[in-house]
Structure formats: structure tokens, C-alpha cells
Amino acid sequence: MDSRLKKLSILGCLAVIVILVLVVVYANGGLKKSTAAGKDPAQTASTDPGAASSADTGSAGDGGAAAASGEITNGSSTFSGKITENQVGDNLKGFLEDDNFFDKDNKDFLEGLLDNSKRVSIATTSVEKDLRVQVLDNKGDLVTGEDFSIRLTDEKGGTSDYKDPDKDGIIYVGSLSPGNYEVRLLPIGDYKVPINSTTVRVKERVEYIVISDISTLIKTEEEIDAEAEDTAEASAEEDADKTEMVELQFGGTRQKAGIDVSKYQGDIDWEKVAAAGVQFVIIRTGYRGSVTGALVQDPCFEQNIKGALAAGLEVGVYFFTQAVNEAEAVEEASAVVSMVQDYELKLPIYIDSEGAGGNGRADKLDKDTRTLVCEAFCRTAKNAGYNAGVYASRSWLYNNLDMSRLEQFEVWDAEYVSVPQYTGYYTMWQHSSKGHVDGIEGNVDLDIYYY
């Protein structure tokens, strides 16, 4: 190839290279321009995940943050100004250029959104043609001392308002027609009440099912007048004939020796109790108040059940009833289940059906109603997976209960005699209230369990 042709070839190659470079530069510049103008959102999303279109967030400022103007209102508080929604680019300090970001009013509002101390919710329960609404704080505790109100809306759109007159955090509505209702907690003060209403079904008949939110109704003795409320009387003393056996009864086939205890035994040394030969214990979980009907936990229940189980004893429990109907019996059984659910029970849950000194709220119940109470209690406990039974003296079993309707449950007969006179079926016999066991100061009830 001559020199002239060689020079032309070289110049041609250089020209092609220059053209290619110009094409690439032009293409890149056009792409950026198109993306900045929002003409190709799909490409924008793939090349810059942090970017947002101006239609959603407004234009991006020099600080690198896309913002929109507007207001957020919560109750009486209003936040005004720019709302930072997306970060564009690498400027992590863009919020410093927002003139309103550190305004006191905005800070107070944002802190208010995060403050749950005044946030409340409601829990609703229906047992039979009634409705109980509990107002709970963010920890699940009752909110007391406030005049809360609810609005009920029935299936036809009719509304009725109900207040909490005693300000105990519980609004109870009785004699309701069965059906579905909308329940709304009405605004009060600076409390943050639920925005949406709650739907609840008011039941036509009692269902023997544990009430899930019953624990908030259980009180301690510090909250009530225990002397006036805890007034159970042992009617078994009426049947005593001074032949009762005041020592633990060991031996025999298919029987165990045990005791039953409550707060009246005080602090118990359970290791000594077990060493004395006690094989089982029935522990009082609590009682319903004879005057107010409050559900009260025995102050020694937890320490007793923990100590007894740690010492290797078999455990059952009992609850002194003052229920006046089936619905209250379901409440009592639910309270017991809530108290024992974390412990292993090998023996039944008993309802203690006795008098309360003649002035108790349930002392004047007729035989049929009292039997219904015991049946409802036991059915509820059994439906929760526990064995259940009835405790009473011999004369009480004969005269105050229709035992033919309670045959499917265990019976704990209290007779302070050498040989039981009760002719009905029973699996446990309380044979003395004057027993003495190492580890317990004073008297304690003695029992035999047959298996």
C-alpha cells in the first residue's frame, strides 16, 4: 500500500472512533435529561431506587429531600409544614434544611403520637342477655376514676348510651335482647379512644365457656373489706358427733391422706408437711364476696400452690361461691381457671357450696337455683379441661342440692364423724377440722381421697 492510501485509512479509522464517542456521550446526556424530567419512571426506578416522581412527593430541593406541604390532625393537635417522605441522593442531613423540623409545636405533636399513656381499649363479654364492657389501659389494666360512656347500636340501627356510674372501669348492661351489637367507647378528656367500634354478640343462653378477660375482675383483699366479704361458715360442724378422727388416715386400699388449706393456715412449711406423710392438698384459690359479690383471690393462694408443688404434693383447688345465678357461676369458674392455668392440677377444681352466716348474698337461694350454680361452675371447669366437683357437708348435700343432677361430677363430703353417714356417691371425705400436721401452726382440715 502506498503512503497516501495508508494515511487515508488511518484518518478514516480515527473519524469512526470520534463519531462513536460522540454518539455515546449524546445518548448518556439524553438519558439523564429524560430521567430528570420524569419521562421514563421505570428507568428512574431501576437506576435510582431512592427517587420518587414529582406527582407523588413534589419537587426535590437543593437539600436532596423530596417533600410535600400539608397538615396532619390528631384530636386538638395539628402538625403543619413539610413532611419529608423520601431521601434522594446521599445527603443524609437534608432534614436540617427543613425550617419546621425542630419547631416546638411539631415536636410536641410527634411526641404525642408516640405517647400511649392515655390510649385505652375495650374488652367485651356477654354471658346471657347481658354485656360487660371493660375499659383497659395500654397495659391491660382497668382504667378507674373516670366517667366513661359507651354507645350501643343494635341490628336495626337503634342506639343507646350507657355510663360507668361507679367509675370502676366496667360498664354493665343487663336485660339486652340477643343479637349483634356495635359498641363504641365515647370520647372523654384527653384519652385516645378506639376509632372503630367493636362488634359483640349478646348471647341468649349461658354457654359454659371460660371468660377470657375475667382476670381483670379479680381483686386482692387489699381492695375490699375482707372481714365483711369472707364469711363462709363450715356447716359440717352441725353434723359432728365428737367421734371425728383428728389424725391423718394412712393405709387402706386406693386412698390417699391429705389436707385442705387457705389463708387461715398462714405461712406453711411445705417440706415439713410432705415429710409428715401428707400426699395431697386442696388449696383455696379465693371466694366471691358475701356482700358485694366481688371475685377475690386468697392472699396465700400463690405461695401455697407453689410451695405444695415444689414439695411434690398432688394438688387440687376450691373456690367459695356466692354466685346467685348461672352467669355468676361461670365467672367464678373462669376466675379459678385463670388462677391455676400455669400450674399442674392432678385433683379436681371444687366449688365450695356453703352458707355465709345467714346474710350472704347467696344464702337464700332455693335448691334448684343453687344446683344450677354448682352445675354451671363444674361444666365450665370441665370444658376448660379440668376435673370438677362439689364440696359441702352431709346435711347440705341432702337438703340444699339436687344431687341427682350433679352425678357426673366428683363429690367432696364434709362429715366430722368416725364413719360417714352420707349415702350418695363421693370421692373425697373431709373427716376433721381439728387436725395437726407438722409444718402448719394451729388446726387444719384433714381429708381422704379415694381413687
Region of poorest pLDDT, from 32-41, 267-276, 413-422, 442-451: 32-41
* Residue 110: predicted pLDDT: 60
> Has residue 279 got a pLDDT over 60?
yes
116 versus 412: the higher-pLDDT residue is 412
The answer to whether residues 350 and 316 touch, using CB atoms and an 8 Å cutoff, is yes
* Residue 113: predicted pLDDT: 57
Mean pLDDT of the 169-186 span: 96
Q: Please list the alpha-helical segments (H only) found in 62-202.
A: 104-114
Mean pLDDT of the 101-127 span: 75
Mean pLDDT of the 117-142 span: 94
Mean pLDDT of the 288-307 span: 98
- The burial of 58, by beta-carbon neighbours within 10 Å (0-12 exposed, 13-18 middle, 19 or more buried), is given as middle
- What is the C-alpha separation between 349 and 358, in angstroms, rounded? 25
The answer to whether residues 448 and 420 touch, using CB atoms and an 8 Å cutoff, is no
Mean pLDDT of the 207-228 span: 96
Mean pLDDT of the 247-270 span: 96
pLDDT digits (tens, 9 = 90+) for 392-428: 999 999 999 999 999 999 999 999 999 999 999 999 9
Give residue 15's pLDDT band: very low, low, confident or very high (50, 70, 90). Answer: low
Phi, psi of 69 (to 5 degrees): -90, 150
1-9 own/partner pairs: CB under 8 Å, 24+ apart: none
Region of poorest pLDDT, from 29-43, 310-324, 400-414: 29-43
Query: Percentage of the chain with pLDDT > 70?
Result: 75
The answer to whether residues 431 and 249 touch, using CB atoms and an 8 Å cutoff, is yes
The answer to whether residues 238 and 395 touch, using CB atoms and an 8 Å cutoff, is yes
> Has residue 330 got a pLDDT over 80?
yes
Mean pLDDT of the 202-220 span: 95
* Residue 86: predicted pLDDT: 44
Q: Give me the domains of the chain, ranges plus CATH numbers.
A: 121-202 (2.60.40.10), 214-450 (3.20.20.80)
> Has residue 28 got a pLDDT over 70?
no
Q: Please list the alpha-helical segments (H only) found in 311-388.
A: 326-340, 367-383
The answer to whether residues 337 and 387 touch, using CB atoms and an 8 Å cutoff, is no
- What is the C-alpha separation between 198 and 326, in angstroms, rounded? 26
Give residue 243's pLDDT band: very low, low, confident or very high (50, 70, 90). Answer: very high
> Has residue 309 got a pLDDT over 70?
yes
* Residue 59: predicted pLDDT: 37
Query: Left if phi > 0, otherwise alpha if psi is -120 to 50, otherwise beta: which for 3?
Result: alpha
- What is the C-alpha separation between 164 and 172, in angstroms, rounded? 8
The answer to whether residues 389 and 427 touch, using CB atoms and an 8 Å cutoff, is yes
Residue 422 CB-half CA count within 13 A: 28
Residue 292 CB-half CA count within 13 A: 15
- What is the C-alpha separation between 153 and 56, in angstroms, rounded? 40
Give residue 44's pLDDT band: very low, low, confident or very high (50, 70, 90). Answer: very low
Distance of CA 264 to the CA centre of its chain: 29
* Residue 224: predicted pLDDT: 97
* Residue 164: predicted pLDDT: 96
* Residue 61: predicted pLDDT: 39
Mean pLDDT of the 333-354 span: 98
What are the beta bridge partners of residue 411?
390
| 3-class DSSP state of 108 | helix
* Residue 262: predicted pLDDT: 98
Q: What single letter denotes the amino acid at residue 290?
A: S
Q: What single letter denotes the amino acid at residue 389?
A: G
- Please give the mean pLDDT across all residues of the chain: 84
* Residue 41: predicted pLDDT: 39
Give residue 51's pLDDT band: very low, low, confident or very high (50, 70, 90). Answer: very low
Mean pLDDT of the 225-249 span: 93
> Has residue 49 got a pLDDT over 50?
no
Angstrom distances, CA of residue 196 to CA of 113, 186, 193: 18, 11, 9
Mean pLDDT of the 62-75 span: 39
- The burial of 242, by beta-carbon neighbours within 10 Å (0-12 exposed, 13-18 middle, 19 or more buried), is given as exposed
> Has residue 95 got a pLDDT over 70?
no
Question: Mean pLDDT: which of 61-65, 86-90, 325-329 is highest?
Answer: 325-329
pLDDT digits (tens, 9 = 90+) for 159-168: 999 999 999 9
